[in-house]
Amino acid sequence: MEVLKRRIAFYESVPENSVAFADRGIPDQLAFARYHGFVAPEVLVQGALNYRYSPQVFVTPPWPEIFVNDAIRTETYEEAVRIHQSVIDTYSDLNYQLIELPLLSVAQRVKFLLQILQTKSGNSFSIY
């Protein structure tokens, strides 16, 4: 539950009406539990329901050309694809609108993100 506590702390640290990005969110924990065949603990389910992110969530699909195993990412590419599907299913089940990031350079992805954010909010954004 330490991961859940940290994700809630991050959520609560973001000022209202601000934009913040996280590598993983509370629903990802549900997705990982599902992927591994576990019944998600009620505390996770309630966390995902009580700590709602923006209705639109950006997702990054597995990208074979840059996929690398390391000490943290130990799954195979095929496993990563199945985990990604579990993440997609979980966020969809929680009624999030998923926006898939295109498989482009970092600079082009940033441009894509900024365009989406500006279109949805009417505000302009900069990267610092």
List pLDDT tens digits, range 16-59: 888 888 889 999 999 999 999 999 899 999 999 999 998 999 99
pLDDT value at position 123? 63
Give residue for tokens 């209202």.
16
73 in a structural domain: yes
Residues 63, 53: Cα–Cα separation, whole Å: 25
Coil, helix or strand for 1? Answer: coil
pLDDT value at position 122? 65
List pLDDT tens digits, range 88-127: 999 999 999 999 999 999 999 989 988 888 887 666 555 5
84 in a structural domain: yes
Range of the domain at 43: 2-103
Residues 86, 30: Cα–Cα separation, whole Å: 9
Structurally, the chain folds into a number of domains equal to 1
Amino acid at position 3, single letter: V
3-state secondary structure 25-77: CHHHHHHHHHHCCCCCCHHHHHHHHHCCCCCEEEECCCCCCCCCCCCCCCCCH
pTM here is: 0.87
6 in a structural domain: yes
Residues 98, 25: Cα–Cα separation, whole Å: 13
pLDDT value at position 72? 85
15 phi/psi in degrees, rounded to 5: -60, 150
> Residue 44's closest CA among 87, 8, 88, 82?
8
